Chains A and B, each alone.
Chain A
Amino acid sequence: MEEIVVKVDGKEYKVFVEETEEGKVFVHCGSDVYEVETKKDVEHSAIERLHRKSTAETGNEITAPLPGVIYDVKVREGDKLKQGQPLFTLMAMKMENEVTAPRDCTVKELKVKKNDNVNRDDVLAIIE
């Protein structure tokens, strides 16, 4: 059992948290016992990462596919883009890799400028 002090409206209460082997959690408060539901904190699990990536593809972040250097910025904030239109040229693996718009969109914010070094999955721009 773990002792926790919680502050409610400026007043301190001492409660005891008990976790059973079945994963149930009880909070002992004075003579009362409450069973509570917990939200487990899943730390960047594989699937969550995948999710983030798959939403990134359709979401509002343009990320770097490779580590490299921004060789050319081809758009300005506020530009309207068609799907497949290039935003950046990324010099990586000795090639000019085009980073293109995943869908028709508007450039909301550019996060990098020419000659910036970027890592894989770094956010290069926000679109909407």
Chain B
Amino acid sequence: MGGNKIKEFLDLRKALLSDRDAAELQHRKGKLTARERLKYLLDQDSFVELDACAELQSTGLEEKKKPGDGVVVGHGKISKRPVYVYAQDFSFMGGSMGEFHNKKISHVMELALKTGCPCIGLLDSGGARIQEGVAALDSGGKIFQLNTLSSGIVPQISAIMGPCAGIAVYSPALTDFILMVKKTSYMFITGPDVIKTVTGESIDFEGLGGASAHSEKSGVAHFVADNEKECLDIIKVLLSYLPQNNLENPPYYAADSLRETKKIESIVPEDPRKTYDIKEVITEVFDRKSFFEVHSNYAQNVVIGFARLNGHSVGIVATQPKVLAGCLDINSSGKISRFVRFCDCFNIPLINLVDVTGYLPGTVQEHNGIIKHGAKVLFAYSEATVPKISLVLRKAYGGAYIALVSKDMGFDKVLAWPIAEIAVMGAEQAVSIINKDEISKSPKSKAGLAERYAEKYLNPYVAAKLGKVDMIIEPRETRNALIKCLDMLLPKREKRPAKKHANMPL
């Protein structure tokens, strides 16, 4: 057999896989190379590289040509489950997205879609490769198209591990989750220089599009890691809660025990005006160490995340009395609805923990569209066909009640503690409307009226009598009751009328 040809090939392969030059550049910045990242992310020896020989075809850049075109793509396994991956190589022309670079990314995305595997992108790129002109731009459009087609079919995860600027930001934005690394990753549409020229504002990369800007202010990033390895670890943890695709169920882990959740009694004050940390309740109720918070720094008045309940993946949406009284506002509405829709796509049951009086009042909220943003929450829950369980801890009033608890809107099981107050509004507000004339005649009567209203309506029994609450449980029974409800709801099937797609309020 042609020994020479095989030797030639082996030499070529050795050259292709070497990233010595890249290593020097990346390590100096405290970053790993594309190949090092993939090695850390994937199970040992599981990576299979594709399109390693692809290189740029456009004229004018011949001297820079290098096999691979600045991105490493292929497939491998994470915890023995197959995934498709691509990792941009910043050391080659700044990881810029040329035509073949983009085609390689599209290639693995197509394969991920066809085979029902998660697709993970490790991004480190300065943006479109300007020299390649429209060819580079247009092939970027193909990536957006595939992101959109894959959405709701396979989980898509984007880790920003360097710059991600201009049009390059929109592929991550179309995926399900974005991770960023502190101090080394940036995302923005227009950079500090352009902003300076156009608006006169001075801002640095970190302030404009760093990890903290996007995890706390814009909400673009769902997770922030201190370093690259932590970032890759988060991807592995995240995948452990998710199925491979929309036709599978999430992985089941060994069941944790049934147990009384007594500690809750000391966490949640009986006085509905006192605050507490809902995360302590979550930790107590769900499987030990299973709570994995999403968007932990953004819109902290609502806590969302994955956890396991008796071994089953669930999505938690909980109001956080400790921050802004757990109120619903524009940011938390976006946070909730996107999470609910993700869980629904991938067959992850939803569990709500509710203790909230309503929406944040104010002109800022109204003028920025709380009406349309709040509608997203209603839309997302109404649309979701996964099992939906809601537990009212203390307060569920008015609009917040409908959004997070209402049986008629489609919650399958509603539970409440005996201290729960399910009503249209609080006592003082209610009597000042209902008993307006009486109070205007003798203002002193208000306190007594409010007290009587509270006694009559601020409890879970009025709703229970109407069949709007299925079970009233002691706080210590919370975990066991939720497990029993979930067990019975897991096989739930709910059909929706066929249509092209819905028109979600945006």
Chain A residues near B (Cβ < 8 Å): 23, 39-42, 45, 47-48, 50-51, 65-67, 91-98, 119-120
Contacts and interface: CB of A to CB of B under 8 A. Distances in A.
Chain B, interface SS category: loop
Interface string B180-206: 000000000000000101011101000
Contacts of B208: 47
B357 A50 contact: no
Contacts of A47: 195, 201, 203, 207-208
Contacts, number: 61
B217 interface: yes
A66 B360 contact: yes
A96 B273 contact: yes
Contact of B327 (A45, A93, A119): A93
A65 B199 contact: no
A95 B273 CA distance: 4
Given A66-B325, A120-B362, A120-B364, A95 B357 contact: yes
B272 interface: yes
Interface in B311-363: 321, 323-327, 356-358, 360-362
B501 interface: no
Most B CB within 10 A of own CB, among A65, A66, A93, A119: A93
Contact of A66 (B207, B327, B356): B327
Contact of A40 (B199, B326, B358, B426): B199
Nearest to B218: A50
Chain A, interface SS category: loop
A65 B197 CA distance: 34
B324 A65 contact: yes
Interface residues on B, range: 20 to 34
Most B CB within 10 A of own CB, among A94, A97, A119: A94
B101 interface: no
A66 B446 CA distance: 26
A95 B426 CA distance: 11
B366 to A, nearest CB: 12
Contacts of B395: 94
A117 to B, nearest CB: 12
Given A67-B361, A67-B362, A93 B324 contact: yes
B443 to A, nearest CB: 17
B275 interface: yes
A94 B364 contact: no
A66 B199 contact: no
A97 B208 CA distance: 31
B27 interface: no
Given A50-B217, A51-B207, A67-B362, 14 more contacts: A23-B197, A45-B199, A65-B323, A66-B327, A67-B361, A91-B273, A93-B325, A94-B273, A94-B325, A95-B273, A95-B274, A95-B275, A95-B357, A97-B325
Contacts of A92: 325
